[in-house]
């Protein structure tokens, strides 16, 4: 009785391991394994790089005197910040598709080659070991702005006070803004006149060589620019780079908002309604997808029995749209917009080598050994 129980237990453990048996052409049977190798087909993601420029304007302390003293009629008197999108770059990347995970069974299960991320790379082929791609960090927040130490007070050398006279018992008298503005305007005009005299050769002494002349002229222009900024103000620019990952889906043809943008705050999250939406549209090449889908079906009744599939990747136009205008576009292969088909069973039993593009899931080559 004990021997009978041991025999039954042994049969119970062996049968699931081998499963059913499949007959070869010579009539012999070969085990069909109930377990196999799990793998994934890839999908294509889109990474958007956005370079923005922050323009900051700081009005000059004597802006209200610009027209009266220098004839500058468009001097701004209020501070302002304005952001602008300067450049957009579109890239693609590959990753395993959670909607396309399969298990290879039978002889095909021990002939598979997989990429480091678990995507199918080949069948019965010597696939070169791929290097793991480094992780890229997306920057989603603005970097704090550093103070450059600039101050209009460092430009104007007019004193705050002047010596009084007998009318006020020689007490110091504060110089008014109008007087300081007049002195700064005089410096601007003096620099311009000196540059004119140098160019016209009206100086009492000439520079010994051309290099010294150029250096002196550039110094005068820089001094003029600094004093003029007391009236016209100062504009500074700062660049920032942001990046966003996006995986196209069925609704991407209409456009998906990946972030928002405002003139005052620049790049803000998609949930922040203070900015205007920036959307990505992925429009598939429908003629190509339709023909792939029509030919993906197989007339073989056992097609897909081994659980080995490949992709026929789609092609799409990718557009980044802001304020109803396309600000960047690209044409790229998008794996998940194509079709999935079973690898023909005749190619899975050791006589053929099949190489797969792990980034798209497409067949790279088929060769007979």
8, pLDDT greater than 50: no
User: DSSP letters along 77-145, please?
Assistant: -S-EEEEEEEEEEEEEEEEEEEEEEEEE-GGGGGTEEE-TTSBEEEESS-PPPPPPPPPPPPP-SPPPP
215-224 pLDDT, tens digit per residue, is: 888 888 888 8
Nearest to 101 by CA among 44, 45, 39: 39
20-71 pLDDT, tens digit per residue, is: 334 445 554 455 556 789 999 999 999 999 999 999 999 999 999 999 999 9
Average pLDDT (96-121) is 90
Exposure pattern of 175-206 as b/e (b: 16+ CB <10 Å)? Answer: eeeeebbebbbebbeebeebeeebeeeeeeee
Counting runs of H as helices and runs of E as strands, what totals does the chain give?
A: 5, 16
Average pLDDT (287-307) is 84
For residue 98, the tally of other CB atoms under 10 A from its CB is 8
Average pLDDT (196-211) is 68
199, pLDDT greater than 80: no
**What pLDDT sits at residue 14?**
39
**Rounded to two decimals, what is the model's pTM?**
0.75
Two structure tokens written together for 70? 């220098």
For residue 233, the tally of other CB atoms under 10 A from its CB is 22
Average pLDDT (275-301) is 89
Q: Estimate the crossing angle of helix 177-200 against helix 210-232, to 10 degrees.
A: 150
The alpha-carbon radius of gyration of the chain (Å, integer) is: 37
Cβ burial of 366 (10 Å; 0-12, 13-18, 19+) is middle
Nearest to 48 by CA among 93, 94, 87, 88: 88
170, pLDDT greater than 80: no
Query: Is 311:338 a contact under the CB 8 Å cutoff?
Result: yes
270, pLDDT greater than 70: yes
User: DSSP letters along 31-63, please?
Assistant: E--S--EEEEEEEEEEEEEEEEEEEEEE--TTG
Exposure pattern of 331-342 as b/e (b: 16+ CB <10 Å)? Answer: ebbbbbbbbbbb
Give the residues across from 234 on adjacent strands: 58
Average pLDDT (346-354) is 84
Most confident range (mean pLDDT) of 5-19, 143-157, 293-307, 330-344 is 330-344
**What pLDDT sits at residue 16?**
40
How many angstroms separate the CA atoms of 259 and 239, rounded?
18
Nearest to 281 by CA among 300, 254, 305: 254
How high is the mean pLDDT of the chain? 82
Of 67-71, 108-112, 209-213, least confident by mean pLDDT is 209-213
Give the residues across from 85 on adjacent strands: 52
313, pLDDT greater than 50: yes
Average pLDDT (314-341) is 95
């Amino acid at each position: 009785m004990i021997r009978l129980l041991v025999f039954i237990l042994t049969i119970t453990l062996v049968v699931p391991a081998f499963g059913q048996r499949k007959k070869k052409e010579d009539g012999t049977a070969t085990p069909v394994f109930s377990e196999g190798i799990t793998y994934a087909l890839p999908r294509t993601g889109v990474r958007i790089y956005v370079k923005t420029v922050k323009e900051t304007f700081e009005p000059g302390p004597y802006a209200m005197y610009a027209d009266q003293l220098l004839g500058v009629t468009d001097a701004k008197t209020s501070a302002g910040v304005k952001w602008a999108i300067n450049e957009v770059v579109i890239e693609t990347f590959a990753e395993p598709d959670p909607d396309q995970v399969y298990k290879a069974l039978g002889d095909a299960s021990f002939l598979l080659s997989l990429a480091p991320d678990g995507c199918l790379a080949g069948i019965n082929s010597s696939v070169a070991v791929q290097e793991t791609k480094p992780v890229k960090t997306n920057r989603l927040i603005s970097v704090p702005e550093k103070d450059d130490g600039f101050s209009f007070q460092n430009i104007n050398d007019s004193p705050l006070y002047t010596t009084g006279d007998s009318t006020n018992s020689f007490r110091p008298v504060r110089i008014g803004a109008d007087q300081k503005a007049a002195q700064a305007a005089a410096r601007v005009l003096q620099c311009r006149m000196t540059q004119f005299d140098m160019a016209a050769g009206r100086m009492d002494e000439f520079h010994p060589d051309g290099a010294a002349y150029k250096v002196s002229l550039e110094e005068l222009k820089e001094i003029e620019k600094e004093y003029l900024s007391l009236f016209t103000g100062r504009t500074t620019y700062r660049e920032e780079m942001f990046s966003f990952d996006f995986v196209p889906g069925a609704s991407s043809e209409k456009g998906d908002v990946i972030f928002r943008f405002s003139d005052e705050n620049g790049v803000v999250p998609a949930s922040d309604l203070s900015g205007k939406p920036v959307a990505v549209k992925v429009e598939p090449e429908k003629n190509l997808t339709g023909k792939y889908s029509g030919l993906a079906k197989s007339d073989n009744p056992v097609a897909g029995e081994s659980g080995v599939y490949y992709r026929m990747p789609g092609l799409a136009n990718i557009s980044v749209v802001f304020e109803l205008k396309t600000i960047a576009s690209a044409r790229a292969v998008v794996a998940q917009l194509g079709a999935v088909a079973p690898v023909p069973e005749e190619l899975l039993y050791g006589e053929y080598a099949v190489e797969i593009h792990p980034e798209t899931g497409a067949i790279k080559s088929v060769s007979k050994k």
